Structure 1
């Protein structure tokens, strides 16, 4: 983005008034260089853009770095080029020039303050600047204080702008007063004694102000040192934090490695526990299968020996790694102990139930003995019943054998009956077929008889009409020849039509696929056209936004031009006033040499002022040219985007038209093929009817045979 346009004009010339001490000490010294490079940027109107304000602030900061700084000894040290420096020679203490010099210095004391650039305090305003604004010239603060300092900086800039505007008004008034005093200078040469006292008072006040400024400069330097110490402390703290962060990152890496190792150990322990549980489950199943009687005897060892063995076996194990496993085993042991207690309670209950069962068993034994006695009594009756059942079984077997013989006989009868029925049905079908065949032969014979009868009647009529036999035979041969030709022609036409039909049928799926593809392409292009319409709307919206931005840029450019014109007019008025003062000083040059020297300095400063005005004007016009070029470039970009969009829309429309023409052409070809098929079908049917009529006329085929012939041809086609 181009830098903002500023409506600036250089500062007024600075009239330096020497104090008494400096005047006495500077008689034997070289002239002191005074920097006049400071310029004042007075804004004619507020520029609302945020980027322009930011750039304005940057320019002000840059001008601050280039402004002169008051030295400890009260002198002025400049940072500008040598062209803008003015050397003020030490005053000569001549008695005949003293009253004139003091008159001018009194006028200079009234309006000799320096006007600085916008946002830059002069020496007379240093005492009024708060500490927060003075710290803006110090090194860059920490990031957490940037926002607060930026807000304070903006407030201070606005306050300085208002103060500078008031200072400009005051200086213009003082310039007018200066002209009035210069005019009165010629008329009031007799009042030199009174003016000498006023000049001494003003000089003392100036010296006091210079001393105050020196003290404040010392305070500012102390504050600057303090801020530098704070900055060094913050840097050291930052380095310490970075070192701590590096050590913490190393610790985190080591902890991550340890965590990975522990995760590996945990997974190994989990696998170990799972395998141990599987093995325990397998051994428990084996023990349950073997039974309680086959359990191996346990080796009972003393508790001290067990503890020693356990301590020896666990001495080589990492207890920290197996801690969770031991806790899990402890939990399982506790669960097993609880289960054992439950099983003991269940066993006690089972023993009580067993006692009850034993008592019931004794009662049952008594009942069994009584039942055995009753069984012995009923055993005789049982033997008799057993003999009766054996007899009944033998009778049942005999009856089953007889029933099986009857079933076999019945099956044989059924088989013979089925065979006889099949033979009779076959005979019946043969008879029916023969009946139909004979009936058909009878019908054919009747038809032949009718044909022969008709032929006989025709021949009889021909014989009656005295038709010769040779002519008749010739006509018959001619009819046969024509019939053969018609058959050959019919076969050729039929084969050609069949080939055409096959070709059209083979082309039909290809055309259908092409039609489907073209319709799908058409739909896709319609969707693409819709998307392009949406993009067109978006582009139009963007174009409208760009046009609105262009209008705003043009308005801002016009306002900047007006502001620049106002600033130039104001600067020209100031230059005119300064030239008037210069003319008046030239008129009074014969009266006082000091006034002549000041006039030369004013001439030099006016020349520098004019050169600065020219440079500012050139910079402003260059900025205007840059802005106009950017606006023209934006206009060309917008036009180019519009042209590209219109070309794309035309291309897509042409593509859609081409696809639609292809679809219409394929549809026409499809309709044409359908019409050709219909024409072929009609021609075939008409040809079949014509052949049938000719055959009937030639009476070589009957109606039934001709119908069969036509049906065969139709099925073939």
Structure 2
């Protein structure tokens, strides 16, 4: 499945590449030397062995017998050519083995496997299994059971390969003995033919039979070399399996209760009374392993059916995605536009908050300046008030001095001025005095009204100052709340980004794990089929070799009889 995940806040897209279609043909094989892991839905042909080289093609045939005396030299040359050909074939075998070992990245160790590599691979497998247990949403128990069943199936295949290898080695030794006997008989016949020059002219038919015998012997040698090659390859495969699955160490062998090496064998090993329950238990174990193998094969079939269903669903989803590509592009553009608009709105809100913050600072500074101005004006008015009070005191002092002077003048006027004049002058003075007092009282009232107005203005300014300070505090609180909300939104955005990345990693790990399980199952089934096919081919070759040997012995008997009759 190809999933496209988008983040509307960041505008970043994460795409999982679509898997490749599986192919079961050998022509789809794209082999690389540096191949260390399984790709999702990879072809099974990537992990097949190299094609078996045709061992019969590059071999020289034995030369036909000639009536010259240089047959011994020719035979020596033929033996040297055969040795060179076998060395070439062995080098070719080793090259093919090196290619296979490079393909599988496993060093072929015959007897002593690398335990450090095994422990490292086991630690890596444990780490990978723990990662899959924590990450993958699959049922890990079923996967572990499938892995165990695959390992047991591989161990059983290794055991069968060992037994088959032993049988092939025994057959190969028997064929080598027979071939050596045949070659000795052929050499004897050649010597007899060389020592009978009179009968050489009459032995044209026998030379044709000898040619056929030589051809048969060459075919037997070729088949023997092919069997040697197959035995060598089976040994290489066994060494790989031994390198993968470590044998028991000396300490483990000493701790395990096995048979003694130097001491005499225990009685229960030779007594049938003790051996029968052991054989029954061994048969029970074999039955259990057969059941386990059947269950593993059924699970592998289920996994194959499930993988085919997943592939079909994937193809359907690909088709639907191809049909809805235009709609998805429009939706994707709409999501990008929405994300851009959200980011622009956030930027505008942040700018508005900054403008409000700057405006609040400006208003606060203006109000502080106005308060300073008003306080200065109040101080000036208080100074004027003090000056007016001082003037009032001076006026009162002057009034007292005027009263004293008036009394003095009254006393002087009583003596000098008449009563009418005095009354008229006093009335005038009283009027003047009343007018002055009226004027002074009006001025005092005006000054008191000004002072009251200034005090009221001072109170209103203080109230406005407190209101402005409360407004400033309220705006600061709102700004802090807005900053906190912005931080929470940013944290939520980061958390969502992390969750999206984690989900992507989980999905990729799950894909890789599924593909590794499927490819492992397919590889085991393919190797089992290939080994069964190879065993059947070897059996057929063995039967053919036996029939040819029998025919060769019959013909040799006939030739010996003819030679005896002619001699």
TM-score bucket of the superposed structures, by smaller chain: 0.3 to 0.5
Higher Rg: 1
Normalised TM-score (structure 1)? 0.29
